[in-house]
Amino acid sequence: GAVVSQHPSRVICKSGTSVKIECRSLDFQATTMFWYRQFPKQSLMLMATSNEGSKATYEQGVEKDKFLINHASLTLSTLTVTSAHPEDSSFYICSAWEQENSPLHFGNGTRLTVT
Amino acid sequence: ILNVEQSPQSLHVQEGDSTNFTCSFPSSNFYALHWYRWETAKSPEALFVMTLNGDEKKKGRISATLNTKEGYSYLYIKGSQPEDSATYLCASLNAGGTSYGKLTFGQGTILTVHP
């Protein structure tokens, strides 16, 4: 079946540094990928929709200058958390679908801790 | 902003018990309802994508029903096994307004099946 690979699975960084998270579709092309954030005991919150070859669409309240998304190819989207602060500590997970409204394929997620 | 609610938040059952939980979603501009199973340390796995009112889908011991007019879906597990222990997520996909093309997730139901 279709696989989405997300790296790293866990990262600890110092406040003020930037962290890049990669999301790859391994055996299918994904023109659209989604980035979610999950706070403890809450649902997956959509941060942005990443579109290959064009700018990402950010959800209301998500700072696009802080969470940079690049979807440079049909198999790779990256999320860069710039100038990270402790409040950015969270669980980030990406997903993609092979075609619109097919089931989403998820990465394993990234646990970010900013000290 | 869509509001997708799942109940109960958590559930403990004994091996062999049958169980069910609920996902409620706004019925306006409804397009599809997704169910996912999320086991600890793994990525969410798609169970069902449902679109039609009255739809009923089955995968082994797991089945789901959909009522788009009143905005709810039930997930049933027959003869629960310890390996069914996971968080079950539902997500609504709507076809209108600012929610177009975006899956909105509920908080999930955490199922624990005791041997």
Nearest residue of B to residue A5, measured between CA atoms: B43
**Total residues belonging to chain B:** 115
Is A44 an interface residue toward B (CB < 8 Å)?
yes
| Residue A52: predicted pLDDT | 85
pLDDT tens digits, one per residue of A1-16 = 789 999 999 999 999 9
Tell whether omega for the bond before B8 is within 30 degrees of 0, i.e. cis: yes
- pLDDT beyond 60 at B1: no
Residue A101 to residue B31, Cβ atoms within 8 A: yes
Query: Are residues A109 and A56 in contact, defined by beta-carbon separation less than 8 angstroms?
Result: no
A51 close to B (CB below 8 A): no
Under the phi-then-psi rule, with left for phi > 0, alpha for psi from -120 to 50, and beta for the rest, what region is B76?
beta
pLDDT digits (tens, 9 = 90+) for A20-72: 999 999 999 988 899 999 988 888 999 999 888 888 999 999 999 999 999 88
The pLDDT tens digits of the residues spanning B26-39 come to 988 889 999 999 99
Instruction: Report whether A36 contacts A45 (CB < 8 A).
Output: yes
| Structural tokens at position B21 | 């939980």
What are the Cα distances from residue B108, in Å, to A32, A44, B65, B91? Answer: 24, 9, 17, 9
pLDDT at B60 over 80: yes
Min Cα separation A18/chain B (Å)? 25
- B55-75 CB burial, b ≥16 within 10 A, e <16: bebeeeebbbebebeebbbeb
